[in-house]
Amino acid sequence: MDEEGVKSLASFPDKSAYDRIMSRGGKLYYNAPCMIVIPIKEAVPKGAHFKERLGFPEGYEIDIAVLLGFAENPGGKPHELDMDKLSFVE
């Protein structure tokens, strides 16, 4: 999934996300040892191969993945929070 995700980012006209991922070693998922994938009823991602491998029920697609792990080098500086990239639903 990591490799396919990086390929997908490389195809976007805006290369900023791809460049950011490549600057940290080309690992979209931070080498996390565990990923939780949450399916949704309808979506249009490129994920048929992974949907099949993960055994999603008919009619469900990949929506979001949650990564679990720990920092390889603890004590690093976390990303700055950009409130413009957050959405709140009430």
The highest-confidence range among 1-10, 25-34, 65-74, by mean pLDDT, is: 1-10
pLDDT in the model for residue 44: 55
Strands of the chain, DSSP E:
34-40, 61-68
Amino acid 41: pLDDT: 63
pLDDT band for position 29 (cuts 50, 70, 90): confident
Read off the pLDDT of each residue in 18-24 and give the average, rounded to a whole number. Answer: 90
Query: How much is the average pLDDT of 67-78?
Result: 73
**What is the amino acid identity at position 45?**
P
Q: Is the pLDDT of residue 32 over 70?
A: yes
Output the six-digit token pair for 34: 């565990």
Query: What is the mean predicted confidence (pLDDT) over 26-46?
Result: 73
